[in-house]
Amino acid sequence: MVSRVSGATNLGRNGLHDWVLQRFSAIVLAIYTLGLLGWFAVNPDFSYGAWRGLFDATWMKIATLAAIIALCAHAWIGMWTIATDYLTSLALGKAATFVRLLFQAGCVILIFTYLVWGVQILWGL
Amino acid sequence: MAKGPNVNWLPVKDDNRPVNLDLTKFHFPLPAITSILHRISGVLIFVGTAVLMWLLAESLSSEEGFQRVGEWLQSPIVKFIVWGILSGLLYHLIAGLRHLLMDAGIGETLEGGRRGAVLIIVFSVISILIAGVWVW
């Protein structure tokens, strides 16, 4: 019963699908993170104009949106992995499935908040 | 025989093989420690993203907002929080890159796994120290 419910809350269609999504989103996030850190390294003590100019560029808005969407998928899979590994009936007894679904619901709310907030930061100003 | 933990949920019952699933009683080798740190850092940066997005939103809102973020980053507490999130991010990134290498078949042996774990620690300590210098 437990495994059936845990199989219903993962992001992909199956474990292999999750595996691919996790790797693909990881690569997107790694490239974005290294790119942004590189920008900070090249532009120490940057001005508001330079910072605003970076995020006003369409390619940066698209890259940032891609990174946020990748973060959503990556966090969903990661949090699912942790929840199904630790919030188990061995640790929590009969309440385990309820506690885990509550935890995952909280994660989904936070993920959705990041997505909406990110779009608002990029295009809502 | 010592009674193991409650494993009634396992499909096999009345099994008298010794069971030790009490993780607190294991001695953890380095690869196990780097693995659990990967998970802990993942949770940390998942939550820390809220702080980073807040700083991003404020810094892009206006010239004044940008100045405010600059002032916040002067505070030792904010510096420490940002450094903490950056540390989690750098560790997760390095351990993640190593995962991708292992997916490609590199460092998959027992010895390779141990060497990889040592390299994760070395690279992340160096990058976390550099991040600390940058934040302060």
Q: Walk along chain A (125 residues) and give the pLDDT tens digit of each residue.
A: 445 555 678 898 888 999 999 999 999 999 999 999 999 999 989 999 999 999 999 999 999 999 999 999 999 999 999 999 999 998 899 999 999 999 999 999 999 999 999 999 999 85
Whole-number pLDDT of residue B1: 44
**Are A121 and B53 a contacting pair at CB < 8 A?**
yes
Dump pLDDT digits (tens) for A104-120: 999 999 999 999 999 99
A52: closest CA of chain B, how far (Å): 6
Whole-number pLDDT of residue B79: 97
Could you give the domains of chain B? Answer: 29-135 (1.20.1300.10)
- Annotated ligand binding at A17? The verdict is no
Domain coordinates of chain A in residue numbers? 2-123
Alpha-carbon distance of B60 to A3, in angstroms, equals 45
- Closest residue of chain B to A45, computed from CA coordinates: B70
Chain A positions with Cβ closer than 8 Å to B = 2, 23, 26-27, 30, 33-34, 40, 48, 51-52, 55, 71, 75, 78-79, 81-82, 89-90, 107, 110, 113-114, 117-118, 120-121, 125
DSSP B28: P
**Are A30 and B93 a contacting pair at CB < 8 A?**
yes
For the A2-123 domain, the top CATH level (class) is: mainly alpha
DSSP A87: S
Closest CA relative to residue B102, chosen from B37, B43, B34: B34
**Are A110 and B46 a contacting pair at CB < 8 A?**
yes
B104: closest CA of chain A, how far (Å): 12
- Annotated ligand binding at B92? The verdict is yes
Alpha-carbon distance of B101 to B32, in angstroms, equals 17
Give the A:B interface size as CB pairs under 8 Å: 61
